[in-house]
Structure 1
């Protein structure tokens, strides 16, 4: 359930930390030629190139006749610590995956990522059982993925030995269409050799049982959350994974997928305070007047209400609504309002823009809210569902919603327009119940 946390000092935004320290660090170069003239960025590029060679990422060969060769570019950025202070210079060689051809140098691209409800469920169980929860980060995760396709790439700018030679990739690079899938398959195979098994409900949740000990592993691309029944089994698993992939043990979980995780005696508190600040600043509403509610309850907006937005304003609308969707990971009170804004993505108007601004004004006054996963002695699933009837003014379809509790913790919720027209309120509510049952199952 949504609960208020103590209001503390916000951490500085890493995006703007560089602005305050440009006198002490080299600015991000606009071209690779500028980077090659700066010893700091040259060192970062050399470090990246050496890491690729050490990883046996490629083999330098003469260009095969008629081969499709993927080009690339250097990406530069500053890495900051969580307190906003400068950490290091980062240069990454990224290939232009959009030039790949389906069936030639890539096939399947789909990659599993952990579901938000799974993260909340496992954290609730960790709080209930008083398990240790660690956060891990895999260095250069995508570079560990083994490619099944034959992919050729140009040599990185600044490290070209012979222009007639190209790299034949044996492992994936950032930017390849199949990079995330190759990494997932590589890690999943290794975890399987350790005895981990993916769960049926979520392929990114791996479970290992050894005698009376258990350990859960949540995977979201290169971010890993590991929790176990004892610190000994955690250390053993971390050592084994680190021997295969270079890991960074970030200690007890505190910041995962942009979510601040605070462990408390009575459970976990999940917040996105820094994300709120960035979003309001991006929308130019950092000092707006707060609203008491996220949506007007007098009635739903029609598709034709208001004047169509210009191309620039419509682009801002799409961007803000997309950002608001991510906030619903810890804010169930925003779910319905954001769902209503999502219905008008195809043709937003001034009225719909006002709806988004009201949501932002509500966020402005509730930045201290978060989701509290409470420790409880029970793990029973309890679901509540409801639905309006013919509430959409354009299609007369109903909107159904549900929320699912595990013990005292809210772990899943939804607000969604139904796909068909219900001929009675009872039919609409039964469809809502069906959705809740599916989620519980």
Structure 2
């Protein structure tokens, strides 16, 4: 069975007292999480990793954190337990050590069975009711209808907040058995390169053309979406100039903080424009990813983009002791364009929606895809402008984005073939090792954290 997730906006359904309570819960959970992470860091720095535990009662007694006592203890327990799990996973090398979250980040609170009930609502729905506490005298706080029966829903939900927006998310079992991505790829690995290429759609993601496929499909922002983004960017820049001037005239000690009510009001307006741009980008990502997946062939090839490296600030350039121009202004404009298109989100949406349509996805090496000619494989090419690729080896001139998408499709075929060969080689190596029996190694106790 497939476990799926859902996320719905509940901002418009909340009354003021409900929004206030949820904001307090989320804030208290985030404070508990940050306190536990800080505690773990100190223990690891002192070489006391073995003393890491998920106890949280002592944190409620700290000076300035008395407000935590007004929050249901189940929420604090869930926050402390999640921080402990993240820290232990980092110690085991499974992920990076968790970071603290500030107020400007998206934060959430985990609700478990003690604080809600799920009641059947007809044949295809249920009613989720959240209570203000877990005691016998608890009161109903918030209710929402969900399009899933109680047996499908998981035993926990999450309420998140970003700015003034609140969301309810959870998971459910849709009862559909999906073939894994690896199994789908293995089912095509026996084909020849030419036959396999006929089952692959390569996708090139870029700024001018956010989506370009090897099958000729091009998806860009609609005129309305492009105009909305342009208007919000202009409005944001206007508010930023006013805010910078007010901070300068006010003589702020810290230019990153707002010290007056008017400055905070302007900062709120800037945050509102950012939220509107994020909504436009998210809507486009949903529309474009669904359109791509429906039109694509059984295997979808994507570039494995290093977006963090692509959007880094331009490095300073020096000639002797003197700094020279490094085109920082142009690089900042390119970074804004890359982030505005949300290439990473596009890739994520394509990958998870491909599962619904029984299609496989592959991420391939992205370097030089824009300068390699897909026909002859030569890198002796030129880009007289952004949209054109000219191959000096065979003299062909074509669209650069379409060429890159076809290169991605070819690399996808190579990736599938190499992965299948690696699996066969690994199985043969395992068989040869069985000829020599080696004694089991002794167990090694876990070392203390350094």
TM-score (norm 2): 0.24
More helix per residue: 1 or 2? 2
More strand per residue: 1 or 2? 1
Which protein shows a greater Rg? 2
